[in-house]
């Protein structure tokens, strides 16, 4: 009954080699947090020119970070409706809160929600063609010094412009300085404008 065994042995070796290659690719992904460059394609971040939530924007490629914390709940229906109508194809990540802190070394983004703002901005800069990030938040959480330094370095390293639309609260001087250094700008919205 040796007939066919040699062919089956070759087929089994071929399957084992393919399995090893798949496992190696998964290992590289887990170790680096991303696929090798040749296996990764960036998401297209389309340009935007016009007004969004009362802010005039002209960007060659735009992605969004939207705070979906409970303090933003009353404003999210209006924000989402306008983003859906005006920017339906622009890459968007959500964050619970507006915390600006040094990100963890292995942050996880699940179901389009990043653990904090810097991780969201980094993911959009790394995995999309965006050169401008629009951050929509209420700035209810105070930034920390390490977070501001991390944000400043990220924007500089990735060559990003940061725009900010904030509900109710203007940016503190530390965030203003970071935004202005990258030729960005901000707008403060009154809550009544979003209800």
In whole numbers, what is the pLDDT of the chain averaged over residues? 84
The total number of structural domains in the chain stands at: 2
Instruction: Look up the pTM and report it.
Output: 0.79
Run of H or E including 194 = none
Q: Are residues 11 and 68 in the same domain?
A: no
Q: Structural domain of residue 12, as residue ranges? A: 5-39
pLDDT tens digits, residue range 74-85? Answer: 999 999 999 999
Count of beta carbons in the 10 Å neighbourhood of residue 144: 14
| Weakest mean pLDDT among 9-23, 65-79, 159-173, 177-191 | 9-23
What is the domain-level CATH number for residue 93?
3.40.50
* Residue matched to tokens 């904030």: 166
Q: Are residues 21 and 104 in the same domain?
A: no
Residues 6+ apart with CB under 8 A from 138: 67, 69, 71, 72, 75, 98, 166, 167, 168, 169
Distance CA 109, CA 170 (A): 27
């Amino acid at each position: 009954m040796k007939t066919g065994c040699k062919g089956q042995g070759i087929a089994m070796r071929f399957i084992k080699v393919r399995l090893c290659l798949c496992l190696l690719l998964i290992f590289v992904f887990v170790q680096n947090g991303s696929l090798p460059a040749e296996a990764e394609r960036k998401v297209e971040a389309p340009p935007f020119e016009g007004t969004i939530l009362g802010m005039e924007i002209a960007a060659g490629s735009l992605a969004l970070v939207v705070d979906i914390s409970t303090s933003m709940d009353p404003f999210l229906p209006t924000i989402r409706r306008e983003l859906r109508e005006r920017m339906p194809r622009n890459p968007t990540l959500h964050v619970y809160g507006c915390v600006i802190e040094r990100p963890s070394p292995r942050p996880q983004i699940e179901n389009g929600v990043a653990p904090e703002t810097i991780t969201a901005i980094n993911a959009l800069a790394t995995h999309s063609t965006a050169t401008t990030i629009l951050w929509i938040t209420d700035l209810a959480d105070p930034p920390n010094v390490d977070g501001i330094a991390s944000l400043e370095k990220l924007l500089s390293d990735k060559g990003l412009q940061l725009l900010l639309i904030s509900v109710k609260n203007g940016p503190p001087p530390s965030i203003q300085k970071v935004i202005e250094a990258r030729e960005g700008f901000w707008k403060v919205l009154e809550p009544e404008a979003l209800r």
